[in-house]
């Protein structure tokens, strides 16, 4: 059940990058993902980084941040989380109050029954704090799994249906679908939240994804489209919701951006440049790595160019700030900028990527403190409006 919202909820997100990659390491390869060899990975260094990221989670909880977001990526030096559920399990133990939003599990490349079981475990671990986000994943994830990209959406939808059935219908039962076959489905562990944890659907530029989420009453979270496209996608959601018979509100819409707070604007501007660390490599590579034929619709491919992190020419640091994709500054400055974003979009949720690139751990920790103590209380004063 989605709760009606009259005030914003803020979620902290860490990309958990492996920050030891240098320009001279990666520039010799045509892609920053599939082609970049894992011989550059040092587990000992990763051990230190992982524990720093978990310290950030703990502090976010202590400072009253509403939620922590985690996600799943594969073959990516800029995101060391091939398992969102493992990260969420850690979050459940280093926090006490904050919600845990997985945005999301890439369900087309994972076994749906196991996914239902693991997510139910997480809801039990955390005492019902889980927000379960499902995603199709990027094209690289599908290729890494050895799957046909043209099957991704169908696999996603069937996996979703099986997970929901695992949570809501008593076992044992049989499942014979197009892609998944189980003679017996009988998960013993079930979620605390009934009938199941909240389901969110993150997306970037695909109107089909917005329609899919709205037709099921799921919260849609936009992951990086620029403001004009985000407003268009929000209207698609509202129109679809009205067509299927429910009245949407801020609780059905979220928005993600990058943000860092420091004691002064000048210091924040310098720190925020770390967000650009992976900008030239994340999407570099042949088309078959990032947008293979049949993976997404022609409309979604075209609209993806209107995303801050999408294909095409890179925006400068200043341009990214001008369009609100990166927000940096003192608490007063960040509050003012995020207030503009909230009043423009009227979302129930803001997902702030606050730990990314080569931003120092100490700077992230200070940013989290300032977000919790000064920025979030001010944003809570903004009254969200019903959708028309």
What pLDDT does 2 receive?
Answer: 66
The tens digit of pLDDT for each residue in 249-286 reads 999 999 999 999 999 999 999 999 999 988 776 666 66
CB 17 within 8 A of CB 78: yes
Domain range annotation of the chain: 9-379
Q: Per residue in 202-251, pLDDT tens? A: 998 789 999 999 999 999 999 988 899 999 999 999 999 999 999 999 99
CA neighbor of 39 nearest in space, from 50, 23, 26? 26
DSSP 96-145: SSSEEEEEEEEGGGS-HHHHHHHHHHHHHHHTS-EEEEEE---HHHHHHT
Contact indicator for 192, 125 with CB cutoff of 8 Å: no
Longest dimension (CA), the chain: 61
Peptide bond into 213 cis (omega under 30): no
pLDDT digits (tens, 9 = 90+) for 55-66: 999 999 999 999
The answer to whether the predicted template modeling score (pTM) of the entire model surpasses 0.85 is yes
The CATH number of 9-379 is which of 3.30.360.10, 3.40.1030.10, 3.20.20.30, 3.40.605.10? 3.20.20.30
In angstroms, the CA 198 to CA 191 distance is 11
In this prediction, residues 132-143 reach a mean pLDDT of 90
Query: Is there a cis peptide before residue 80, judged by omega within 30 degrees of 0?
Result: no
């Amino acid at each position: 059940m989605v709760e009606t919202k009259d005030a914003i909820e803020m979620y902290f997100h860490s990309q958990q990058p492996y920050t030891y990659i240098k320009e001279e390491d990666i520039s010799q390869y045509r892609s920053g993902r599939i082609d970049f060899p894992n011989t550059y990975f040092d587990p000992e260094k990763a051990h230190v980084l992982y524990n720093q990221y978990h310290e950030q989670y703990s502090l976010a909880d202590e400072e009253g941040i509403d939620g922590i977001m985690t996600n799943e990526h594969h073959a990516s030096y800029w995101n060391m989380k091939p398992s969102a559920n493992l990260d969420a399990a850690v979050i459940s133990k280093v926090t006490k109050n904050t919600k845990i939003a997985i945005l999301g599990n890439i369900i087309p490349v994972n076994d749906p029954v196991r996914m239902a079981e693991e997510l139910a475990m997480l809801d039990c671990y955390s005492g019902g704090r889980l927000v379960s986000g499902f995603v199709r994943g990027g094209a690289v994830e599908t290729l890494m799994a050895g799957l046909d990209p043209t099957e991704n959406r169908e696999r996603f939808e069937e996996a979703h249906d099986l997970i929901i059935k695992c949570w809501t219908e008593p076992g044992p039962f049989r499942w014979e679908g197009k892609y998944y076959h189980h003679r017996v489905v009988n998960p013993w562990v079930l979620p605390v939240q009934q009938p199941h944890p909240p389901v969110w659907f993150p997306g970037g530029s695909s109107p089909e994804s917005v329609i899919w989420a709205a037709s099921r009453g799921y919260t849609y979270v936009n992951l990086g489209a620029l403001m004009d496209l985000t407003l268009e996608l929000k209207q698609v959601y509202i129109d679809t919701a009205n067509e299927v018979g429910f009245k949407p509100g801020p609780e059905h819409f979220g928005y993600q951006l990058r943000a860092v707070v420091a004691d002064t604007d000048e210091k924040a501007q310098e720190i925020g440049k770390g967000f650009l660390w992976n900008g030239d490599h994340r999407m570099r590579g042949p088309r078959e790595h990032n947008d293979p034929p049949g993976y997404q619709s022609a409309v979604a491919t075209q609209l993806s160019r209107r995303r801050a992190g999408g294909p095409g020419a890179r925006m400068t640091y200043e341009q990214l700030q001008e369009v609100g994709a990166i927000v940096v500054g003192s608490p007063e400055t960040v509050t003012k900028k995020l207030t503009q974003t909230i009043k423009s979009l009227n979302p129930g949720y803001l997902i702030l990527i606050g730990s990314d690139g080569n931003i120092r751990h100490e700077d992230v920790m200070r940013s989290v403190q300032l977000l919790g103590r000064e920025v979030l209380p001010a944003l809570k004063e903004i009254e969200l409006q019903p959708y028309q």
